[in-house]
Amino acid sequence: MNKKKVYWLSQTFGWLLYAAFMILGGYVVSSNFKPIMAMPILVEAIFFILITHFFRLISKQWGWLQLPATRLMPKMLVSIFVMAIPVYFIRVFMSFIIGVYSVNLLTVNNILGNIIGNFIVLFIWTSLYYAYHYFERYNLSLKYEVAMNKMELDRLKSQLNPHFIFNALNSIRALVDEDPKRSKKAINHLSNILRSSLTADRKELISLKEEMETVKNYLAMETIRFEERIQTTISVASDTESVLVPPLMLQTLVENGIKHGISKLKEGGALSIKTFIEDSTLVVEIRNAGQLKDKKLNSGYGIKNTIQRLTILFKNEAEFKISNENKNTVLTLLRLPSHII
Amino acid sequence: MKALVIDDERLARKELIQLLDEFATMNVVGEAANADEAIELIEKHNPDLLFLDIQMPGKTGFELLEMLDVVPKVIFTTAYDEYALKAFEVNALDYLLKPIDPNRLKDSIDKLGEVVTQSAPQTQLRLLGLQDQVFVKDGDKCWFVKLENVRYFESDGNYIKVFFDNVRPMIHKSLNALDEKLSDRDFFRASRKHIINLSWVEGIETWFNGGLMVKLKGGDKLEVSRRQAAKFKERMSL
């Protein structure tokens, strides 16, 4: 059932139920209640439907639903008061038409009493209406949070790649004897990577400069592992350094290029990273030797993960594409709005 | 024990070879950076033991094993992807996680201890006997099988079903090609469809048209064709 249907059903049945109670009440309270007297109550109920619907339109139109409770309250009370008055006069008018009108309908006591009664009924209606919306919005934000958490977890999985860490440690173990100086450097590279992956959890965005430091450490580590099988070129335009990027996103993309591209080639190959500004957006191009197979597009390359992050962070302002540039090169293209610190 | 180290990373090979240095019984006869190099070295040195990385450029460790007729003892080395090894039945499989813990390595080597180096002179045309081990991969599942455990082979189109324990994985091979590789002493081509492991034969009955019906331990019954029956009787009698 859609929300519109639910709204109209509750409107109709709610107000009819209200009318039924009023009529029943009339019978109980006054001994000379005539069936014809139910008429103005029913018309009143219909008027309630119309006026609350009108209230809903205004509330939507003027964005009252987004207001915090403290700002909403006065607006709500005033509108209820304004609505409560005509409702009563509709009843008086109807009574007049069907000939059950009596003078005491217009005594101050009666007028005030009925308006207050209407006020209470309308107060209940609006409270239910806003409560429903608050609950719904709360629900949505809960769902959002769950999605965020899950993504966070996924991100951790794909980015702190254990395979990489243990292979790196294994290389270092061998280096200790072969080239002690280099092994010390390697330990620094690895700890820098681990550190940035830990801080990455706490920040939504970091500067490209910081991210490139991680990427360089990562590449240094992989170069120790794969030796002459990897050749890297990095060109970062100076005006891109302060642009904000999601932490470890470039590192993940570079790692993908190595894991699915270069490491699969016996002779290895080249990897290049280029960043520049174009039409005031940041462009990152990662090229690696290898060839993309269609099947891998959605799974192996962690593409889904990256796209998800980009959508949450940049809505549809970001662009991400991975494709075969030619027969032996894969191009990963990333375009981000160039937000600066 | 002759060992071969296969890993695409030079440092990883170096590290393992250095660790193996500590073991007097281990004689590292070579190292290979990929499956093709490994095949060459295996043919040349006929090692008793492979230290094998699974993820390598070109062919994976599994693909390498599939290319071998006889498979030596294998210890897989891997950084993290144990899941790749889940393909194996629990039997006779050993693996080491990188960086390798020297104590774990010692355990693995000790376990191999009993396996005496079969120093039979290795001619290129050595036929497979009961003590030889083969690697069988069917879909996602893998087995190391000692031929003495195989009851019989059955051809099925372009495939052969290998019957052992309670499984019958299929391998892509022709029964004729397999027949040529198996030693006559241990295996017998019963018919167009079957090769029987003679050590599993329990009883023989005469069958129609001068053929025979062979009963195997475990209850399988296979027919020996008329053409092969005389040969079979000759083999089985004194």
Spatial strand order in the sheet of A319-326: A230-236, A269-278, A281-289, A329-337, A319-326
Task: Quote the Cα angle for B43-B31-B78, to 5°.
Answer: 110
CA–CA distance, A18 with A229 (Å, rounded to integer) = 80
pLDDT at B84: 66
Chain A positions contacting chain B at CB under 8 Å are 162-163, 166-167, 169-175, 177-178, 224-227, 263-266, 268
Q: Tell me the residue length of chain A.
A: 341
Closest among A332, A80, A78, A46 to A215, alpha carbons compared: A332
DSSP letter string over A230-245?
Answer: EEEEEEE-GGGTTBEE
Q: Domain extents for chain A?
A: 3-154, 160-337
CA–CA distance, A90 with A163 (Å, rounded to integer) = 77
Encode A22-42: b = buried (16+ Cβ within 10 Å), e = exposed. Answer: bbeeeeeeeeebeeebbbbbb
Chain A closest-CA separation from residue B99 CA (Å): 4
Tokens coding B211: 């053929």
Tokens coding B121: 């002179």
Query: At residue A232, does pLDDT exceed 90?
Result: yes
pLDDT per residue over A111-166, tens digit each?
Answer: 888 888 888 988 999 888 888 888 888 887 877 777 776 665 455 444 567 888 99
Domain A160-337, second-level architecture: 2-Layer Sandwich (3.30)
Chain A closest-CA separation from residue B85 CA (Å): 15
Query: Nearest chain A Cα to B99, which residue?
Result: A170
Contact A254, A271 (CB under 8 A): yes
Query: Which residues in chain B are contacts of A224 at CB distance < 8 A?
Result: 11
Contact B100, B109 (CB under 8 A): no
pLDDT at B192: 92
**Residue entry with tokens 């029964």:** B175
CA–CA distance, A221 with A217 (Å, rounded to integer) = 6
Chain A closest-CA separation from residue B27 CA (Å): 20
CB contact under 8 A, A166 and B98: yes
| Interface residue of A176, A263, A266, A291 to substitute, partner B, most B CBs within 10 Å | A266
**Residue entry with tokens 């019963």:** B190
**Residue entry with tokens 């790692």:** A255
DSSP letter string over B73-135?
Answer: EEEEEESS-GGGGGGB-STT-EEEESSPPHHHHHHHHHHHTT---------TTPPB-TT-EEE
Tens place of pLDDT per residue across chain B (238 aa): 899 999 999 999 999 999 999 999 999 999 999 999 999 999 999 999 999 998 889 888 888 998 998 889 899 998 876 666 766 764 557 889 899 999 999 999 988 866 555 544 454 567 899 988 899 988 888 888 999 999 999 999 999 999 999 999 999 989 999 999 999 889 999 999 999 999 999 988 888 888 899 999 999 999 999 889 988 888 887 6
The terminus-to-terminus CA distance of chain B in angstroms comes to 38
Least confident of A103-107, A270-274, A337-341, B107-111: A103-107
Q: List the domains of chain B with CATH numbers.
A: 2-112 (3.40.50.2300), 147-236 (2.40.50.1020)
Q: Which of A129-143, A212-226, A307-321, B134-148 has the highest mean pLDDT?
A: A212-226
CB contact under 8 A, A174 and B15: yes
CA–CA distance, A22 with A12 (Å, rounded to integer) = 15
DSSP H helical ranges for B1-94: 10-20, 35-45, 61-67
Tokens coding B234: 């000759």
CB contact under 8 A, A266 and B18: no
Strand partners, A179: none
CA–CA distance, B138 with B66 (Å, rounded to integer) = 10
Q: State the pTM of this model.
A: 0.66
CB contact under 8 A, A263 and B57: yes
Q: State ipTM.
A: 0.76
What is the average per-residue pLDDT within A37-57? 86
- pLDDT, chain A, mean: 85
Q: Does residue A41 or residue A275 have the better pLDDT? A: A275
| Interface residue of A164, A171, A265 to substitute, partner B, most B CBs within 10 Å | A171
Chain B closest-CA separation from residue A173 CA (Å): 7
pLDDT per residue over A266-300, tens digit each?
Answer: 899 999 999 999 999 999 999 999 998 765 555 55
Residue type, B175: L
Query: Which residues in chain A are contacts of B100 at CB distance < 8 A?
Result: 170
Tell me phi and psi for residue A193, to 5 degrees.
Answer: -65, -45
Give all strands (DSSP E) within chain A, no chain letters.
206-207, 230-236, 244-245, 269-278, 281-289, 319-326, 329-337
CB contact under 8 A, B79 and A224: no
Q: What is the DSSP letter of A261?
A: I
DSSP letter string over A104-161?
Answer: GGGSHHHHHHHHHHHHHHHHHHHHHHHHHHHHHHHHHHHHHHHHHHHHHHHHHHHHS-
Sign of CA dihedral B94, B99, B103, B109: positive
Contact A46, A91 (CB under 8 A): no
The helix or strand, by DSSP H or E, that contains position B29, with its residue range, turns out to be: strand B27-32
CA–CA distance, A15 with B52 (Å, rounded to integer) = 78
Q: Name the residue facing B12 among A174, A177, A268 (closest C-beta).
A: A174
Query: At residue A73, does pLDDT exceed 60?
Result: yes
User: B17 — contact with chain A (CB < 8 Å)?
Assistant: no
